[in-house]
């Protein structure tokens, strides 16, 4: 029986090699890749997410833990056969047009993937049309937009309008976030979900995909 706590603890400490070795050991002992991902890696990343939310750890520690998680996932990948029931949902994520900031967006991606969501990361400075066209191509349930500048926040409203014009408003949940964004702003542009931090965003996305 694999020691899930050991995998979780090594991940929290950012020990990528130890995490990879422990994942391999668990596979060798008969644990399934899906079990190792859910019970070990996601357990650890969930704890990191909670600690980040409480300001007990900061961005560098989250990135180091994410690197360790990725090392574990690389070991598990060949053994993971994704069935239709395995994926919790798909999110198209990006920083809006005119905004080149991506640290917050990258943290959201890490937390969402840690919760078992598939994330299509469009990067920064993403045109409104691209959010919509990729969401359509990928069959995503969520478009998540990030902004750090008050001047680029208005682009989020353009995304909402474009989703409506594409006739996809009933099938797509629109999430917004970033330092200047508020719940009031979210409501004023007709978006669905505002999240103040990466951990809350991941939790809200999982809940939205489950509906």
**Are 70 and 17 in the same domain?**
yes
Cross-sheet strand order for the sheet of 173-177? 118-121, 90-95, 142-146, 173-177, 193-194
Of the two residues 68 and 80, the one the predictor is more confident about is: 68
Whole-angstrom distance, CA of residue 192 vs CA of residue 92: 15
Structure tokens, 106 = 């990258």
Same domain, 158 and 181: yes
Beta bridge partners of 175: 144, 193
Query: What is the Cα–Cα distance from 40 to 73, expressed in whole angstroms?
Result: 11
197 against 99, higher pLDDT: 99
CA distance 111 to 115: 6
- Does the residue 69 lie in any domain? yes
Task: Give yes or no for residue 185 having a pLDDT over 80.
Answer: yes
- The answer to whether residues 70 and 122 belong to one domain is no
Task: Calculate what percentage of the chain has a pLDDT beyond 70.
Answer: 96
Confidence label for 86 from pLDDT (cuts 50, 70 and 90) = low
Q: Per-residue pLDDT tens for 7-27?
A: 999 999 999 999 999 999 999
Cα-Cα end-to-end distance for the chain? 34
Residue-number span of the structural domain to which 196 is assigned? 90-210
Residue 96 and residue 75 in one domain: no
More confident residue, 175 or 1: 175
3-state secondary structure of 179: coil
What pLDDT digit, counting tens, does each position of 88-125 carry? 899 999 999 999 998 889 889 988 988 889 999 999 99
Residues 8 and 65 occupy one common structural domain: yes
**In this structure, what token pair is assigned to residue 12?**
């929290």
pLDDT digits (tens, 9 = 90+) for 18-71: 999 999 999 999 999 888 988 999 899 989 988 998 999 998 999 899 999 989
Question: Tell me, what's the pLDDT at 2?
Answer: 76
Q: Are residues 53 and 153 in the same domain?
A: no
Residues 48, 150, single domain; the answer is: no
Q: Can you give the pLDDT at residue 138?
A: 96
Report the alpha-carbon distance of residue 204 to residue 1 in Å, rounded. Answer: 33
Phi-psi region of 127 (alpha: psi -120 to 50; beta: other; left: phi over 0): beta
Domain termination site, one of 45, 79, 113: 79
Higher pLDDT, 77 or 182: 182
Is the same domain home to 183 and 121?
yes
Q: Label residues 91-114 b or e (16+ Cβ within 10 Å = b).
A: bbbbbbbbbebbebbbbbbbbbbb
**183 and 126 inside one domain:** yes
Residues 179 and 200 in one domain: yes
Number of domains in the chain: 2
Indicate whether 210 pLDDT > 60: yes
Question: How many whole angstroms separate alpha carbon 83 and alpha carbon 81?
Answer: 6
CATH number at residue 39: 1.10.1240.10
Contact call for residues 159 and 122 (beta carbons, < 8 A): no
Of 23, 52, 79, which residue is a domain's last?
79
Does some domain include residue 84? no
Domain CATH code at residue 117: 3.40.50.280
């Amino acid at each position: 029986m694999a020691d899930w706590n050991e995998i979780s603890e090594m991940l929290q400490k950012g020990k990528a090699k130890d995490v990879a070795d422990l994942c391999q050991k668990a596979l060798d002992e008969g644990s399934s890749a899906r079990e190792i991902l859910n019970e070990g890696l996601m357990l650890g990343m969930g704890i990191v997410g909670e600690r980040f939310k409480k300001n007990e750890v900061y961005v560098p520690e989250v990135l180091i833990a994410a690197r360790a998680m990725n090392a574990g996932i690389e070991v598990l990948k060949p053994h993971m056969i994704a069935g239709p029931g395995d994926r919790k949902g798909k999110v198209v994520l990006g920083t809006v047009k005119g905004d080149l900031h991506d640290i917050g967006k990258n943290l959201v991606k890490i937390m969402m993937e840690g919760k078992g969501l598939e994330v299509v990361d469009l990067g920064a400075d993403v045109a409104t049309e691209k959010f919509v066209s990729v969401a359509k191509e990928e069959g995503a349930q969520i478009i998540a937009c990030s902004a750090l500048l008050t001047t680029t926040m208005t682009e989020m409203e353009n995304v909402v309008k474009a989703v409506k014009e594409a006739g996809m408003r009933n099938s797509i949940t629109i999430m917004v976030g970033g330092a200047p964004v508020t719940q009031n702003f979210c409501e004023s542009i007709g978006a669905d979900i505002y999240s103040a931090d990466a951990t809350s965003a991941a939790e809200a996305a999982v809940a939205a995909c489950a509906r």
